[in-house]
Amino acid sequence: MDIDGSASTDGKPLAAPPAPAPSLRLPIESSHVMMFARSLGEQIDGPQEVAARDIPVTFPVALAHFDPDYELRPHPARAWFGSGSTPGRPRTSSEPRTRLHAEQHFEYHRRVRPGEVLTATRRAGNVWEKTSSRGGVLTFTESFTDFTDDEGNPVLTSRSVSVYLPLAEEQKR
Amino acid sequence: MSLVEVGQKDEVTLVEDLKRTQIVQYAGASGDYNPLHTDERYAVEVGGYPGVFAHGMLTAGLTASAVQQRFAGNFVTRFGGRFIAQVWPGDTLVAEMEVTAVDSGPGGTSREISITTRNQTGAVVYAATATVVTDDAG
């Protein structure tokens, strides 16, 4: 998973970003924060301890739970691609290239406390290409999620960068 | 080791002998149920990997948590990083933190922290930066 797209760069933005997705809501709920913090190895005996501290910085990724269309969660109405009686199957996608999560960033405009419910609005960022050290073209896509409170004030912003591997490298994997 | 002045460094062990169960915990808490991380048969027979591996965001979360705990009581206003190599069950991860900038003002002190997370072989798996704000004069 070595992302070595730094040999040379064009850095020129490519196609225009797509239309924004509908907003989602992220409850900052103590029990959920507790379980998230425990998954990071933190010692928390109960949800009551969550109130006295900042939420884990990366907790906003749990927005996935509140996205009704999130692809990496089993849905009753959809066949899951993981193993059962068979090994499972590759994820279906119209995109033939492999997509890797390259970067993730969080910027907090103020502290977040349990009990709040934040509104999350996604927006596309830039798309750019770089030439890898192996000579293939890496395509980077950037996206943002803006989290606001009930008054519309900015609370935090997350930025995600994905990289699409060139087909030539995909065939070598 | 103190992390107050520019150039000061400290090391924190993030996890020893990462367990598959912790990866499952993270999947449930984060909502990312990608079977590459929790389904051994799928990861091997469909994914073509030696086995399941950790979410990149688990490594990021472990690193961020270490920063928050190391600077307990202060406010981590910014955290972000780049995923460099996969993390596997059994890995032991250590994060080296270094203060790269200090900016003191009327509102408090802001420190820039550079973090490099390595596995037990010394290979870098994740590289991040953070901004930590204290509300005292430094």
Percent of chain A with pLDDT over 70: 84
Asked if B56's CB is within 8 angstroms of A104's CB, the reply is yes
Asked if A40's CB is within 8 angstroms of B62's CB, the reply is yes
Cβ-based contacts of B75 with chain A (< 8 Å):
54, 108, 111
**Mutate: best of B12, B38, B46, partner A, most A CBs <10 A:** B46
Query: Nearest chain B Cα to A75, which residue?
Result: B33
Asked if B83's CB is within 8 angstroms of A102's CB, the reply is yes
* Residue ranges for chain B with pLDDT beneath 50: 137-138
Are A119 and A23 a contacting pair, CB within 8 Å?
A: yes
Interface pTM, i.e. ipTM: 0.95
Q: In whole angstroms, what is the distance from residue B117 CA to residue A126 CA? A: 28
Cβ-based contacts of B31 with chain A (< 8 Å):
61-65, 70, 72-73
pLDDT: which is higher, B66 or A22: B66
Collect all residues with Cβ–Cβ distance below 8 Å to A113 and sequence separation of at least 6: A28, A51, A55
What is the per-residue pLDDT for A167? Answer: 74
What is the per-residue pLDDT for A63? Answer: 98
Task: Kindly report, residue by residue over A72-130, the tens digit of the pLDDT.
Answer: 999 999 999 999 999 999 887 777 788 889 999 999 999 998 999 999 999 999 999 99
Are B126 and B57 a contacting pair, CB within 8 Å?
A: no
What is the per-residue pLDDT for B39? Answer: 97
Are B70 and B13 a contacting pair, CB within 8 Å?
A: no
* Tokens 């492999």, located at residue: A98
Per the structure block, which two tokens stand in for A53?
């501290």
Question: Is A14 a residue whose pLDDT tops 70?
Answer: no
Other residues' Cβ atoms within 10 Å of the Cβ of residue B129: 16
Per the structure block, which two tokens stand in for A95?
């995109």
Cβ-based contacts of A81 with chain B (< 8 Å):
35, 42
Residue-wise burial string across A46-66, b where 16 or more C-beta atoms lie within 10 A, e elsewhere: eeeebeebbbbbbbbbbbbbe
